[in-house]
Amino acid sequence: MPQTRALVVGMEKSGLASIQLLVSQGAAVRATDLRPLSQLQEAEATLNRLNVPFTQQPTTHHPSPITAFESPDLIVISPGVPADLPALQAARAGGVRVIGEVELAAPFLLGRTIGITGTNGKTTTTALVGHILRESGMAAQVGGNIGTPVTAMIDTSRPDQWNVLELSSFQLETIADFHADIAVALNVTQNHLDRHHTFANYAAAKGRLFETQRAGAFAVLNAEDATCVGYASLTAGSPLWFSSTRAVTPGIWLAGDKIWFDGELLMDAREIPIRGRHNIEDTMAAAAAARLAGAPLASIAAAVRTFKAVEHRLEFVRNLNGVDFYNDSKATSVDATLKALDAFSGGLWVILGGKDKGLDYTALRAPLAAKAHAALLIGAAAPKIADELRGAVPLERSETLENAVRFAYAHAHPGDTVLLAPACASFDQFSSYEHRGQVFKSLVQQLEPAH
């Protein structure tokens, strides 16, 4: 059998994990990225160790990954590489298989899989499912878009174990054989339109998680989200619903302060240790997935009570002179910021801005007018946000995160909350939303108490 000739495009964590898997399977591998190897220290060390040649792409005239490797049999793209690049379209037309890292991992991953997608809440829900399963005495490992690439989970996968995967639209748009035994859709609202171009394309990319399911699988779906409801018609699995407004069958729902699972009381929602109504919904989705995986209701409730908030997701940082500071750097869409605002009753100083993703910020006008003293604008998107919020809330053009934190603290009164919930990507001033959140927390910790 001839040796597979593979090209891996994009040298972040998932690209490097893909290279290691391909090399271990005997493929002839080449690597490419828009950046020079001198800017990719981890990649350089990995490629040298594995003896994988690297070609930097030209940044003009539609960079073509095909130039790095004439006539590959397989191209594996990292999540950050748009699947509709002209060079990739041309490769497909020429019969080349173009897949992502999740699809590459699929044939090698042992055990059953829980796949979790949605615009907001993926990370919290994925971490919570893993926590519930482990606390229930069930073997589980967590990865995907959260922490560990799926290809890097293969060596630690076992037949009796659950693989709990956070999956983004970027990862899902290229799957074919990958399938989830339990698939979860939390919500689908406008996001990544700079990449997917239309909401329909974005929703369809997430829908691949359900289209690839097989008979006997389960789909946990938000009964109050029209796009999620639509996914029920795509799956060969059985739908199970969750709702924060009404009873759903089969399913899990909120009635008053009580969470019910198919008519049995699961727990009081006030016992959930992470704040915000959206976190009640995420908890219900996680509980449903864990129940379908075999966790008992009592174990699920006990595990939820001991869950700690995910870093950078409505994370309490500090109270200083009566002012609370919350880090929601992972709120990289307008809808995520709306959910963050909903978790507070008022007295907010809200830090907004970063790299625009083609979103409409006018939806923030009413909640900011009702709850915020001011919006502090940072980053490249600040002028657009200012245009769309003008007149609804006082605006402060802070430009940098440091200026915003200092301004908010100088003007806040006891009982107020300073909230980083940017509604934007981080890549104008930071390397990632994690980097942005870490900088925010560091700035807050450096503030001096007033005397």
More confident residue, 118 or 80: 118
5-103 belongs to CATH 3.40.50.720: yes
Which CATH class name applies to 315-446?
alpha beta
Q: Dmax over Cα atoms in the chain, in whole Å? A: 76
- 315-446 has the same fold as 5-103: no
Q: Where are the domains of the chain?
A: 5-103, 109-305, 315-446
Q: What is the pLDDT of residue 310?
A: 76
Compute how many other C-beta atoms are within 10 angstroms of the C-beta atom of residue 197.
13
pLDDT in tens, 314-324: 888 999 999 99
What mean pLDDT value characterizes the chain? 92
What backbone torsions phi and psi does residue 394 show, to the nearest 5 degrees? Answer: -60, 135
More confident residue, 330 or 84: 330
The catalytic residue positions are: 122, 145, 192
Q: Is the peptide bond before 250 cis (omega within 30 degrees of 0)?
A: yes
pLDDT in tens, 390-409: 999 999 999 999 999 999 99
Q: What is the pLDDT of residue 192?
A: 58
**Separation of alpha carbons 66 and 85, rounded Å:** 11
Q: Is residue 206 over pLDDT 70?
A: yes
Q: Is residue 195 over pLDDT 70?
A: no
Of 153-162, 269-278, 429-438, least confident by mean pLDDT is 269-278
pLDDT in tens, 224-246: 999 999 999 999 999 999 999 99
- DSSP class per residue in 321-376: TTEEEEE-TT--SHHHHHHHHHT--S-EEEEEESB--S--GGGGHHHHHHHEEEEE
**Separation of alpha carbons 321 and 323, rounded Å:** 6
What's the average model confidence in pLDDT over 426-440? 92
Q: For residue 13, give the nearest of 148, 173, 171 by alpha carbon.
A: 148
What backbone torsions phi and psi does residue 342 show, to the nearest 5 degrees? Answer: -65, -20
Q: Is residue 90 over pLDDT 80?
A: yes
Architecture of domain 109-305: 3-Layer(aba) Sandwich (3.40)
Look at the alpha carbons of 167, 168, 171, 174 in this order and tell me if their dihedral is positive or negative.
Answer: positive
Q: What is the pLDDT of residue 274?
A: 84
- Helix, strand, or coil here: 153? helix
Confidence of residue 191 (pLDDT cuts 50, 70, 90): low
